[in-house]
Chain A
Amino acid sequence: MNKTGRAARVLALGTAVAVAGVLAGCTSTGGNGGPNNDRPEGEIHVLVLGDAAASAEQAAADRFNESSDIKVVVDEGATAGNDYTTAVRNSIGTASAPDIFMSWGAANIQPLVDAGALLTLDDFIAEDPELKSAFLPSVFDAEVIDGASYGIPMRGVAPTFLFYNEAVLADAGLEPAATWDELLDQVSTLSAAGVTPIGLAGADKWPTQMWYQYVFARSIGNDEVAKGLAGDGDVWASDGSRAALATITELIDAGGFGQNFDSVTYGTDGSAALLRTGKSAYELMGTWHFATVEAGDPAFVQSDLGWTAFPSLDGDGQDGEIAGNLSNYYNVAADTRYPDTVRDFLKELYSDDFLGDELALGNLPPTTNAADLIAADADLGEVNKEYLSFVVDLVGNAPTFQLSWDQAVPAEGLTPVQNAMADYFNGTIDADGWIAAMQAATAR
């Protein structure tokens, strides 16, 4: 009727006007150059990952605020990396965006760099060289893009390596495998003893990915891998790559991972419990695994937990190449209102207090003085010190340190990479399918 018609027209017109108004907000506000004075006065906001490890960052902020007029406000964001990054990207450029936030590597911040949303930290470094020199070069350089520094490393260096249950191996009369062939041989012995040779939390997919990272590092070398991840599709189709895939298949088919790995979750302690209770012998996992295993059985890590570098394998890779998570990084918004305060707060990241807190959380500091800090830390037990020193040496001696592949590709490639890893492992796709998936995921 007339009434309905009129109402509908008014509604449509109102909607159009309102949509235009909201869309106007979609365009950039606040300059790309210079501080945004719409930001809150007298404070800078740090958006931290809202998990249990945020306590170290909160403590750093509290220490800093004691002597600073401009206060650091710690905001706790999501605990899942995806949600966290989305929240950052959503708010960047507005007055509500954080001044400092966390990232996972160059691919993670590339869209922000392209948008001009990040402050280059080279000026800060010129004023305080320790902001760069205190950190391991291989780790720091991971967020240097086109010669400009964007991130200061924080939280922990987390390479991956092989953990094992000493008691299980001893019972089976075995030594920890130093070569791939040894590992392959041990599989049948261990299976016969009723043990899952290698524990794998396949449901999460990223633990599965770790196996590719090392087999490829040994077979074709991380330099080639880096090229492949940067978009060179020939790397994935090369003979070396196919040989690596065949190697992996050999281990799977021999029963190295058991049958049910795709239903085991890392988060709910599925694989750590296997290692702890002697139901598995090995597990390829990152530095944080010590803390995970310890939380369930402190006595176990003191007596029966072992760790070693990934076995060697014939191929074009150099000795000692490693893979894993280099670190997390703090980035700075380009339009921060108080850059000097930000620079001074960033100095906390190499302070002994902050690094000591990170050590207490089980994170290995990404600094050059990590070995000294560990030795001097009175709260760390002998076994913990041994463990952390091992990791320090592993990183120090590594000619290359490849970032986890799903973190090294653009955002749209993350899940395709993870899916390809899992699908090849459980036989859903074959080598050609895997190669095609990797080429698609890394294409630029």
Chain B
Amino acid sequence: MRAVTRPNWLGGIFAGIWLLIILIPVYVMLRASFESRATYAQNGPLGLPREFTLENYFSAFDLGFGTFLFNSGAIAVGTVLIVVLLVPPLSFAIVRSRSRAVRVVFRIMLFGLAIPSQVVVIPVFYLIDRLGLYDTLLGVILPTAAFLIPLATLILSSSMREISNELYEAMAIDGANSLRTFVQLVLPLSRGGIATIIVFSALNAWNAYLLPLILTRSSDLRVATLGLGVFKREFSLNIPGLMAAIVLTIIPILLTYIFARRALIRGLMGVGGK
């Protein structure tokens, strides 16, 4: 389970450099979010912090960000629920089934990974409209979840296949059918993979732009990605305001990731026949 236990200095240095590269834009974003527009304009993106103000965050909430974040959250939660209900059985089938039809399904999922949403968004609009779900959160959740199924399936199958045959054999000797095997063996050992797909489905749904744009119009359904527009004009941007709004959209997902990681690590520890 552990890689080389001696401290790896070369690796550490490389990781440190990479950390710096990762964090420079994050620094720009954070610093700008706490500055006023005039200060940021003097300071430029790479300046040292000169001011600390919360005015951008306040104005984000004044302009409706509370609602926007709630809507993004609702869509993320709904999407995750659908994905978690549909994908584990599918992954189980892909990893364990001997049926040729399931082989075909796996190919379809690989194929589905490559569908670009821009082109299908218009037929999706007609579909949702005909279902009477235009301008509803559910109307956004359903297609968003559907487009995430291939990705989630690939990730979860990759994780599930590590469950060793001996464990399945033990269940079979026990007289377990596929449902019992799924519930008592596969699900507990797939906790890590399921945590991963929860995080990535939530992330993708949270950052979705195109589907909410085309499928909703009411102000009270506006999501955070569209809500960023309150800091834009047709040609120019209010960068500090925009950065504050972006920080607000990052925090919930970061928290989700941090909590899910615990399940991830604990889950991964259990894999491997130990």
Contact = CB atoms under 8 A, between A and B. Distances in A.
A and B touch in the complex (CB under 8 A): yes
Interface string A350-371: 0000000000000000000000
A132 interface: no
A288 B122 CA distance: 34
Contact of A269 (B101, B218, B236): B236
Contacts of B122: 90
Nearest to B134: A96
A53 interface: yes
Closest 8 CB pairs of A and B: A296-B41, A79-B229, A75-B217, A50-B229, A292-B236, A4-B101, A25-B126, A51-B232
Interface in A82-110: 83, 87, 90-91, 94, 96, 98
Interface in B30-68: 37-38, 40-42, 44
A297 B217 contact: no
Contacts, number: 109
A266 B44 contact: no
A297 B41 contact: yes
B238 A295 contact: yes
B65 to A, nearest CB: 13
Given A75-B218, A75-B219, A76-B222, A292 B213 contact: no
B235 A266 contact: yes
Given A50-B229, A76-B229, A296-B37, A96 B129 contact: yes
Given A96-B129, A266-B235, A296-B37, 14 more contacts: A7-B101, A22-B127, A25-B130, A26-B126, A50-B229, A52-B233, A78-B226, A83-B213, A90-B122, A94-B129, A269-B236, A295-B41, A295-B236, A298-B38
A272 B236 CA distance: 10
A272 B68 CA distance: 31
A83 B211 CA distance: 12
Contact of A52 (B127, B134, B232): B232
A267 B237 contact: yes
Interface in A36-53: 45, 47, 49-53
Given A75-B219, A269-B41, A51 B234 contact: yes
B104 interface: yes
Contact of A90 (B130, B214, B236): B214
A273 B41 contact: yes
A297 B213 CA distance: 34
Nearest to A47: B217
Nearest to B102: A4
Contacts of A4: 99-101, 104
B229 to A, nearest CB: 4
Q: Is the interface of A mostly helix, strand, loop or mixed?
A: mixed
A269 B217 CA distance: 30
Contacts of B11: none
Q: Is the interface of B mostly helix, strand, loop or mixed?
A: helix
Interface residues of A, number: 45
Interface in B165-218: 213-214, 217-218
Given A22-B123, A22-B130, A78 B229 contact: yes
Interface of A: 1, 3-4, 7, 21-22, 25-26, 45, 47, 49-53, 73-79, 81, 83, 87, 90-91, 94, 96, 98, 266-269, 272-273, 276, 286, 288, 291-292, 295-298
B71 to A, nearest CB: 13
B134 A268 contact: no
B213 A25 contact: no
B125 interface: yes
Contact of A49 (B219, B234, B237): B234
A3 B237 contact: no
A292 B235 contact: yes
Interface string B112-132: 000000000011011101100
Nearest to B222: A76
A225 to B, nearest CB: 22
